[in-house]
Structures are given as structure tokens and as C-alpha cells.
Structure 1
Amino acid sequence: QWQLGRILNLKQDKTGAIDRRSRSAIAAYAQSVQTLQSIRSDLVAISSDIQFGFRESVEPVYRELVGLLLEPNASQENLKQARDVIESLQLAELDNFFRDACLDAKPVNIDEIDHNAAIFYSIILRDRLEVIVTLPGQPLRQITTNLPKTEIEKQIASVNRDITNLWRALKKENLQTMHDWLIGPIETELAKSNIRTLVFIPDGALRNIPMSVLYDGESYAIEKYNIAVAPSLQLIDSQANVRKNFSVLSAGVTEVRPHRPNFGSLPGVKVELENIKAQVPSLILLNESFTESNFNTEVNTSGYQIVHLATHGEFSSVAEETFLLTWDDEINLNELNSLIRADQKQKNPIELLILSACRTAVGDSRAALGLAGVAVRGGARSTIASLWYVDDLGTAELMTRFYQKLATGQVTKAEALRLAQQELLQSEQYNHPYYWSAFILLGNWL
């Protein structure tokens, strides 16, 4: 089916037909995607080698179908189908990451979640970047940037180097280029629609960039909008709501541990956790108190709405290599899911999981997939985590301000994070994006 779609598409190209994106090619590709979805469980159960096969054989089917659907000035029907295929690709990538197909996905209408949010679906194709924008109660919008994939990824890598290294000159023109790719063409419409929150469902290398740094020539996106990331809109729990009378279970490790000697000490963690406790009711598990056993007991015997882990951890494109450090061991992704979800009947489910000293694996271009995996499997409705390791005193400053905002009961989680990041941006000591942009909110933003 896939090869038939490719042949039909190439045949149209060679004959020079005006409508090269033929209905026959689209139908063949669509049938291929439908077949892949029907055998999700079988695909991920075969062997670990399938992870490489997925990138070479499965993923291209989705991408080439989207490429066919998103012709210039695509119809609303094609835009909707392309959006659904992008959602399916996101789910397929996570299936492949977890090695199973048990993600609980269900269609979600943005109008039912937030009337003041816009959703941005991006996909990097061989010859261009495509963005589909969903505004509440309005037709879908299409933004196309005609550049080869290699050029797009080169620009993304350059931006990533700029914002993660304090000693590099910050080239705001690169941040403005990405702004123009993703949201520039519809900013007027965002203002007319009273959009206050931008939710990104990023693809590929775009997952490595915090969208808060997009720059319009005068200000960063975080100065105008709340920003959130979703691995897939179908995985959003739309009922989440932390506003008043919440409590926090916080845990952290400040010292170098023998089982992970390459991770340095985190003296700022003690300050961070004590500052949180000064803002909201909290229990602190610090150093030798933070064992997997103690954490398991506390998280499942008390009704904490927020779990805050200030400890080293790493997100990887391989699920088994995504972990959090405890005093005496490590908690991997499956263990974290089991710990937090052990009591499915808990009256107050975990609304927010915060991982304040983690990073994506160095040299792993798809490591942010591990962060998406934590957001999906971490057992909480929302997750805040860092794309790179940030100075622990700077992190303590950001987190203190975040909890100050959240404790008022007047703002959403996304607003609390935006206000905290804005304050660091406006400070003299922490105004570089390295400090304030690393932290992203995944999942429900309310």
C-alpha cells in the first residue's frame, strides 16, 4: 500500500500533471497508516530492533502522507486529515518508545478545554516545515516554510547551542527566524481571537527547543503568551485543575552518589525545597530520606496534589535509559509510573509532577522523546521539567517564584510558570534564556 502510494506520487511527478498529489496516492498512503494503526501492538512487541525499523520503514509512511495532504492552500478536509495523521505519528512514536501500545488516547476538542488556547501541530518534512494551527471555533490554518529538512535542523541546532550556553553570543535573529516559521504569519489572528495560551505539539528536533524563546523582534513569546507542550492532544487530561489548598511532596538529593558519580552535587536543592515549604504545605524527603521505599509510602498514603523531585535525572530516546536519581538507587520510567499510580483510587490524583534538576541526554538528538514519555507515563496530569541542566541556585529562584504565583489560587499552572520566567528574564542575574527557558510545561496547562 505504501509503495503503491509512492509509485503513484512519483508517476504524477514524472508526467508533470498539475495535481501531482493525486487522490489515488493519498488513498494508498491512508490505507497504509490505517493498517499500521490496526497492528500497533504487534509492531512494538516484535523486538528491540524494531525501534530502528520504525524510523526507516514506519515513520516515513506517516510523513509522506502528510506531505501529500498539505499541498499549497490545502483544503480544510486535507488539513483535518493531516492533523489526525500527525497525532497518529506522535502516538506511534511513543508506542515505539515504550515498547507497548497501551496509551489511552481519545479525541479531544480544543473548544472543550480552553477557549483562549491555540494548538500548533508541526511536522518536519523532507523539503519543508508544515504547521497546522487550531483556533477555537475557527477553520484550521496552514503555515508552510519551504526549506530542506537539513537546513531546518541546522537552524534548530544553532538555536539550541545559543540558549544552552552562557558563553555564546545570543543571536536573537535566529530566535526570530523560528518565530516566523511557527507563529509569525498568524499573530494578528491570535490577537483578534484573544489567545492567551499557545500549545505546541512539536515534531523531531523542535522538541529540543523551548517555545518560550521565540522572538518577534521586540519580545519573547513568554512575555505575551502562556506556553505549553503536549506529546499529543489526545493524551491530555482536560479535567486537571490546581488552584487552592494544595500540598506538595518534595524530594531531593544534594550530594554526589557513588552509583552515579558523574552527577555533581546540588547544594541549591536544600534551599529550593525549603523555599517551597515556606510557600505551601510540604513534606521534604532530603538525601538519605529520599529512598524509593520512603517515596512510595508517602506518595500513596497522603493526598498530595504536587510531587516535586529536585534530583538528577536524564531523559533519553531509550525508555530504559530514562531515570531519576534517589539517595541509594534510580527510578526508571516504569517504576515512576508504578509508584505514582499505585493507588488508582486515590481521592486526589497527582495534578503536577515537577522534575527540577533533570536534563535531556547529551548527544541524543531524540532525547526529548524521553521527556514526553515521562509526561505521559509519570502518573500526573501535568509535568514541568527542564530540557537541560540549569544552575541549581537559578532553578531555586525560578521554582520559588513559581510556587508564589501558584499559591495565590488566581492563575493556571501555565500562567504561574510564565510569570516566574518573566521575573527571571527581567532580573539582571538570570536574564539569559539558559536560566529561564529550560523549564517547559507538558500536558494540561490549566
Structure 2
Amino acid sequence: MKICDRIISSICLVLLTFLLVTRILPAAQSQTPNIYISSNEIAQGNPPETLLNQGRILYEAGRFTAAASVWQQAAQGYEQQQDSIGQAWSFSYLSLAQQALGKWQEATTAIAESRQLLESSPPEPAILAQVLNIQGHLQSSTGQTESAIQSWQQAEAAYRNADDKQGIWGSQINQSQALRRLGLYHRAETILNSLEKELQAQSDSSFKVQGLQSLGIALKNTGKLAQSQTVLEQSLAIAKRLGSAEIANKLNPPLDTSSILFSLGNAAREARNLTKALEYYQLATKITNSQQIELKTQLNLLRLYLQLEQPEQAIALIPLVESHLSKLPPSRASINATVNFAESLERLETSIKEQQISSNSYISLAERILTNAVNEAKTLKDIRAQALVLTQLGKLLAPQQPKKALTVTNNALLLAQQIDAPEIVARAAWQLGKLYRQQGDIQQAITAYELTFDTLQTLRTDLASINAETQFSFTESIEPIYRQLVSLLLTSTKTKKPANRFNQVSQVNLRKARQVIEALQLAELDNFFHEACLKTQSVQLDEIDSDAAIIYPIILPDRLEVILSIPGQPLSNYTTHLAQAEVESVLQLMRQSLNPAYAQAERLKLYQQAYNWLIEPAASQLENSGIKTLVFVLDGSLRNVPMSALYDGKQYLLEKYSTVISPGLQLLQPQNLANSNLIAIAAGLSEANQGFQALPGVEQELAKINTQIEAKILLNQNFTQPNLQNTFDENPFSILHLATHGKFSSNAEETFVLAWNGKINARDFDTLIRSRETNQANPIELLVLSACQTAKGDPRAILGLAGLAVRSGASSTLGTLWAVRDRSTTKLMTEFYQHLGQPGVTRAEALRRAQLSLIEGEYNHPVYWAAFVLVGNWS
């Protein structure tokens, strides 16, 4: 079961809870839920209508076991009354509670009972819609995404018959999320865009406020942060207007806007606008009347203070959070909040030690509240909550009490496996792996890490899958798993050091390490797009190019590891024992040294040092194997420096090999370029536009391309997104060449290329060229971006180039690592297309020859030619 399924299911669960009130007795809708329901109040003699309502209250309070028990009693009561409709309602709610508890078989049985009862007695549309909605949630949670979509489509139709707009909107959001999981992004976005238009057309009401807020949250979870913020701000503005009118007319108290402010804070934090997030959270805590919103906001504020390195503010917030938690009755929500709080306390302890701030120890407080939470979870008979708390407790105990931590974490893992909770399995197994590694038991550590890795592979974790309320970030919560597993796999089992830098690592471990590195590349791209949008396939290097070698470097805290793959030969591995900070420092200097004012001798020295890390140990092996192309699957900051400019003391790497950047073979489309019939769409901006300066060389660049290959030119005002789309649809082509401003960023929303009428976002590329996907006779084989640059101050910005490359659907992309000069770019592109059209010349070789033409002329400094990199297929 995928983690995105789990997260989307939790979103659906919120919507379902929201929709539950439509069938509950009207008098109960305006009441504040009484979460202190005692066992006496849930007596067997209570009418089933009362039990149904009490179950709802318990469910909303997170007391799922109690809610299930009450709804079971309600079903029995309705059966005695021979009320099949009421019985069907009870079974559907019972399924909902069983789903929350991870009891999938019981949930399936309950919803089947509900559907069977409804079939015998045709129900009202609202009743049928509710049951179908819950059925869709169950199907989504158990990986039956197509069936879930069908259920939600049927639920939407039933809600329309019932004239229930909230139900319609909720069903549409559910469908959109499920379609995204199937990779049907265009259909998913069409639904959300249609929903937004419908909501905008509605007159202002509390329903519209809630609908816009739900839409804004859905947009945030799909990574559309700017659109999410706009929609949430609209929701807030309408709520304020309605509130002012109600005050003026002395009607109901004004709408509580704190939940919208909370959602805005989450969107701002995910967009890395931490100052704005802080403002939203602080305002939400000031105006809220909801204990739940106040606690959730305070927990997010606490995390934000830690992220902003403001431990004093975090310390001041601790008593308030602790007080709120102590007043909550046992529930899933209170236990989740406790885990959240304990994790922040642990991080706060680390922060105050690093900054040498005098304060109380917060580890003992974290241990105490987690121990209490374990007991609460047992009382609630909530296995999932118990597994989650034990995992966090094991993590907390690990530094000082490793043996106890091992026992606690093992228990957590067993519980998580018992209820099929893979996201908790992954966390618990990772914790076990760290504990075994700490004890020096490498084999047990590898076994635990492999369980973590295998679980993550089934989950396809991304940023959208990480709950903003309970996790810090992908780089802290997910990425380290991959690196730590690689480190363990590449730990030599031989006590005697080899005579050279090659390690004594088994082929089994090398193959697994290579798989993990490739998976990390994919996870980063999933993270970038906030969705597991990329299709993978198993490709063997020998099937692509017997003259190409793949180099997998990975930066670890204590060393730089390299795996080398040469066709027809065993994998090999060599190591540079150098701390990560030193590696990063050299890489940063390498990038800076590309400034023409930098001393050439110093630049060459830096690039020779990197050559010694990555190439020198295998230089003779590469030469003896007749290798012509080096394919780099780069890691971290290595992506920011040009591999073609590595220097062996006599010549650049480019002078001996073609060089290619790959996000991994699993994303490679291994078709060859049809050199004999190259047709391009070439679009660009030479004039200043939208605050971007003119690119006077673009007009000449496009004209010269047209002399080398057949090209349809779109220049300046003709280069608009609609014109580009129409040109795509009306003309066969294999190359898309864009000579325009653009930026690569680690944030998908900030990765774009500029058209005359606006920015084409990275996410827009698959929609823009979607019509090409069905025309396999003319696939886009090459995307060229000749004037883009990376975002300044963003060390992971090159991820944007890889993301845009794979999202475009082109088998390869030619882009630039930094802003390039007009005249040298025109010359390089002219040479590139001239060589590309020659029989037997690969894309990589065409680029190499074009770059060599600059080296041999007036543009011999790497700043002119080394910026150009080929990403993806090189043949």
C-alpha cells in the first residue's frame, strides 16, 4: 500500500468526517462534541439514533475503538427495529472506524453489509452517497484506486440527486487525489479547476468558505502552493466579510477563521516563506475558539521556531503545549499530538546544547509524556497509535538506553506489521537499523535498513506524503535512509585494507547499493513534484550502449563513495575518505572558480582534485574497456559542477569522453535519435519582456538552427503558450528548442521557462505536450533549453533541471547549469545541430563536438562551454 494512498486517505477521512454530519440529528449539529462520553451514557438500552450520534462524537474525538463498539450496538438496535436503512448507516460508520484502526478485513465486511442492506431497500440519495463515500475511502486505503474513483463518482452523482453541494465538492476532491495517484494528472487538474470555477460562482456562504478551504488544502497537497495560497486567502476574505455582517446584524457569532489561518500557515511553510507562516500561526492562536486548532497551531509554531533556530521562543511555548495536552482525554488525536510534541522536545534539547543555552532537560519530559501515551493507546485498544508512540519512544531512548530502545522499537515494528501500517514499519525498521549500527552489528543493521528501503519503495514517499504536522522535511526524514543504507552496504567486510582505493565489497551489496542510489534519485524527483509522477522501467546498460560507463558517486558524512558500472564487467567501488563538509567546500569553490576572473591554475587544481575523486582510480579500466561515454548519476552538490570540465592534469574530461547526466537508468527511454529526419519547433524571446532583459542573440540562434535542420520558428510575440500548443498539435517534430529565460530551482513552482505571455511552469510541461503522448510515431526525443540558469543560493537547484527534463516527456534534455553568453551559445548550438544531423553521431557526441569547437576557438574558458549538460538518453 502506497504512503501517498495513506496520506490521501487521511485527507479523505477529514472530508468524510466533515460530511458525516449530514445524516446526524439536526439538534446535534450545532452542539460542541462532548468527548467525555462515559460508559454509562453508552448503555445498551439507548435508542440506536442516540448511539449513532454518540459514535460520531467519539469518532471525531479520535476514540475509534469506542466509536466502533457504539456503532456495532446501533446496528443491532436498528436490526431489532427492522430498520434496514439505519442498520446500513451503522455498518458504513462501523467500517469507517475499523479503517481508522487499520482493521481492513473487518472494515470490508462492514461496508459489504451496508451495501447489501441498501440493495434490498432503495435508500434516499444522501444515504447512498455517504455509504459510497466511505466505500471509496476503504478502497483507496487498500490500494484499489480505480474502484475508489468509481465509488466516488457514484457518490458524487448521489450527492447531486440529494442537492448536497458539500458532498459533491468532497467527492470531486477525492476523485482528483485518486486520479493523481494513477498518473492521470490532466484529468485530476481538470476536476480541481472545474471545482474552483464552481466555487467562485457560488454566492458567499459558510459552505463556500469551507469548500474553498478544502480545495486550498488539496492544492497544497499536490504542490500547487501559489494557487493554494490564493484560494485559502479567498476563503479567509469571505469568512471575514460574513463575520462582519453577522456582527452588524447581531446574528450568530462570527465564523472562526483560525482553521483557515492554520491552513495558510501550512501552505506558507511548505513554500519556505517561514516569516509569513509564523504570522499566520500566531494570528490563529490569538483568535481561535477551538482547543484542537490552538494545539495544532502551537505544535507547528514550536517546530517553526526550531526551524528558524529560535530556541528561546520554543522554550517559552513548551508550558502552553504541555498544559493543553494534559487536559485532553485519551484519543488518537491526543496521542499523535504527544508524538509530535516529543519529537520537538528532542530537537529542542539538541538545539539548546549546540547553542549552549542554559535550560531544563526536555528529554525526561518527552519520555514521561510518551510513556503516558503508550498507556493511553493500550486503554483505547488503538494498535496503530501504540506502534507510533513506541517508535518515537525507541528513538528517544536510543542515545542513553540502547538496549531498552531496541526492545521498545522491536515491539513497535511487530505492532505496525500486525495492522499493515507500512509508514510506521518504515520508521520503526529505520530506528532498529540505527540501533544495530550503533552496536556494531552491521549485518543486522543492513537487514533492518533493507526492510525500511523495501517498504519505502512500495510507498513511493514524497514531500506531499509527509504530513506537515508530524514530520520536518524530506531531507531529514527520508533521504538519510538511502544514504545510511548505501554506507552500510559499501562497508568492506575485509579487515585488511586493499592496496588501492577499490573496496572488497560483494557484488550483491554493490548491486543493492546501486539500486538504492537510483531509488534516491527517483525519490528526490517525487519530492520535487509532490507526487509519484514518474514511470520507471528496468534497463540494462548493455542494452543501451556497450561503449558507455555509468559512474554513481554518493556523498556520505565521512567519505565519498563511487560505484562504477562498465558493460560486461562486475561492478566496482572506490572510496575517498574525506568528510562531507570538506567535499562540499571543494565543490563550492569549483563552481565559484568558473568566473573568468578566477586564477586558471587554481581552477584547474580544483577540477583535478574532483577528477581524482571520481575518475582517476578507474582511468585505466575505462580506457582498456574502450569506453567513449561517461554517464554520471550525480548526488547532492556534485550536480552543481560540470563533469565535462574535470581535469586530469593535461586535458579536460570532455576532450576524451562524451559526458551525460542521468537521473537514473530506471527513468531512461532508450530509443535512438532518428538523425536523418530531424524536425524542430524552435521558440525564443530576443526582446525584453516581463521584467527580463533582452537576449539579442536568440534571433540569430534560431535562424542558424533553421539552416541546419528543418524548424518551425516562434519568436517573441509569436512565442505564447497557446501558440506553442497549437504548433505542437499541428506539426510533427522530434526536437523542441527553447531559447528563452528560465530558472531551475529545487522548488517545482519556481522552475520555469519564459514565454511571451507568461511563465511555463515545470508542472505544465506534461500538460502542454500531452497530445504527443498518444502519437508514438513522433515522440519528443530532445528538449533544448539554451538560456536558462539555476536559482542563486539554492544548492539543490539543479534538481529543477532534472525535474523539468523528465516531466517534459522528452527522452533527453540539453540544458545549462548557469546563464550563458549569447554569441558563444549561438556558435555552440549551430555546431551541435550540424553534428546531430550526421549519421551515427549520438546526442552526447554531437554536444561534445560542439563544445570542443568552442575550446579550440575564442571561447575556450569553461564558463562558455561547460554549462551545457545533456540529461537523459545520450544515444
- Residue correspondence of structure 1 range 270-289 to structure 2 within 5 A: 270-289=699-718
What is the CA-CA distance between 1:50 and the residue it aligns to?
8.7
- Residue correspondence of structure 1 range 426-437 to structure 2 within 5 A: 426-427=856-857, 429-437=858-866
1:52 and 1:294 map into 2 onto residues whose CA distance is 42
The answer to which of 335-344 and 64-73 deviates more is 335-344
- Residue correspondence of structure 1 range 228-377 to structure 2 within 5 A: 228-258=660-690, 261=691, 263-346=692-775, 347-377=777-807
The answer to which of 147-156 and 94-103 deviates more is 94-103
What is the CA-CA distance between 1:189 and the residue it aligns to?
0.7
For residue 238 of structure 1, give the secondary structure of its aligned residue in structure 2: coil
Contact 1:314 1:359 in 2 (8 A): yes
2:849 and 2:468 map into 1 onto residues whose CA distance is 43
Contact 1:246 1:305 in 2 (8 A): yes
2:674 and 2:599 map into 1 onto residues whose CA distance is 38
1:233 and 1:184 map into 2 onto residues whose CA distance is 24
Q: Give the structure 2 partner of residue 7 of structure 1.
A: 435
Consecutive unaligned residues of structure 1, counting only runs of 5 or more, are: 13-19
Contact 2:462 2:523 in 1 (8 A): no
Q: For CA contacts below 8 A with separation 6 or more, give which structure has more relative contact order.
A: 1
Q: 1:23 aligns with which of 439, 443, 461?
A: 443
Contact 2:737 2:784 in 1 (8 A): yes
Q: Structure 2 counterpart of 1:34, which letter? A: D
Q: Give the structure 2 partner of residue 35 of structure 1.
A: 455
Contact 1:123 1:202 in 2 (8 A): yes
Alpha-carbon distance change, 218 to 105 in structure 1, aligned in 2, over 3 angstroms: same
Q: Give the structure 2 partner of residue 15 of structure 1.
A: none
- Residue correspondence of structure 1 range 98-247 to structure 2 within 5 A: 98-163=529-594, 165-170=595-600, 171-247=603-679
Q: Structure 2 counterpart of 1:279, which letter? A: Q
Task: Tell me the C-alpha RMSD between the 2 structures.
Answer: 1.4
**TM-score computed with the length of structure 2 as normaliser:** 0.49
Contact 2:688 2:694 in 1 (8 A): yes
Alpha-carbon distance change, 169 to 48 in structure 1, aligned in 2, over 3 angstroms: farther
1:400 and 1:7 map into 2 onto residues whose CA distance is 57
What is the CA-CA distance between 1:46 and the residue it aligns to?
4.6
Q: Structure 1 counterpart of 2:762, which letter? A: L
Contact 2:430 2:449 in 1 (8 A): yes
Q: Give the structure 1 partner of residue 473 of structure 2.
A: 53
2:647 and 2:612 map into 1 onto residues whose CA distance is 9
Per-residue Cα deviation, 1:224-268 (whole angstroms, up to 9, x for no partner): 01111111110000113231111111000011213xx1x321000
2:534 and 2:526 map into 1 onto residues whose CA distance is 7
For residue 139 of structure 1, give the secondary structure of its aligned residue in structure 2: coil
| Aligned-pair identity (%) | 50
1:166 and 1:279 map into 2 onto residues whose CA distance is 31
Per-residue Cα deviation, 1:169-200 (whole angstroms, up to 9, x for no partner): 23201111101100111111111111000000
Contact 2:550 2:564 in 1 (8 A): yes
**TM-score computed with the length of structure 1 as normaliser:** 0.95
What is the CA-CA distance between 1:328 and the residue it aligns to?
1.4
What is the CA-CA distance between 1:341 and the residue it aligns to?
2.7
Per-residue Cα deviation, 1:73-102 (whole angstroms, up to 9, x for no partner): 211111111111111111111111110113
Q: Structure 2 counterpart of 1:101, which letter? A: A
Per-residue Cα deviation, 1:132-164 (whole angstroms, up to 9, x for no partner): 00000101010200000000010011111112x
Identify, as 1 or 2, the structure richer in strand: 1
Per-residue Cα deviation, 1:355-404 (whole angstroms, up to 9, x for no partner): 00001111100000000101111121110000100011111111011111
Alpha-carbon distance change, 213 to 39 in structure 1, aligned in 2, over 3 angstroms: same
Identify, as 1 or 2, the structure richer in helix: 2
Q: Give the structure 2 partner of residue 381 of structure 1.
A: 811
For residue 786 of structure 2, give the secondary structure of its aligned residue in structure 1: strand
Alpha-carbon distance change, 49 to 251 in structure 1, aligned in 2, over 3 angstroms: farther
Consecutive unaligned residues of structure 2, counting only runs of 5 or more, are: 1-428, 493-503
The answer to which of 375-384 and 309-318 deviates more is 375-384
- Residue correspondence of structure 1 range 55-94 to structure 2 within 5 A: 55-72=475-492, 73-94=504-525
What is the CA-CA distance between 1:44 and the residue it aligns to?
3.0
For residue 179 of structure 1, give the secondary structure of its aligned residue in structure 2: helix
2:870 and 2:431 map into 1 onto residues whose CA distance is 39
2:470 and 2:800 map into 1 onto residues whose CA distance is 17
Q: Structure 2 counterpart of 1:419, which letter? A: R
What is the CA-CA distance between 1:51 and the residue it aligns to?
9.1
Alpha-carbon distance change, 227 to 122 in structure 1, aligned in 2, over 3 angstroms: same
Q: 1:409 aligns with which of 839, 843, 850?
A: 839
Alpha-carbon distance change, 101 to 48 in structure 1, aligned in 2, over 3 angstroms: farther
1:192 and 1:305 map into 2 onto residues whose CA distance is 36
Q: Structure 2 counterpart of 1:75, which letter? A: S
What is the CA-CA distance between 1:342 and the residue it aligns to?
2.4
1:51 and 1:286 map into 2 onto residues whose CA distance is 46
Q: Structure 2 counterpart of 1:184, which letter? A: E
Q: Which runs of 4+ in 1 moved over 6 A?
A: 48-51
Contact 2:462 2:474 in 1 (8 A): no
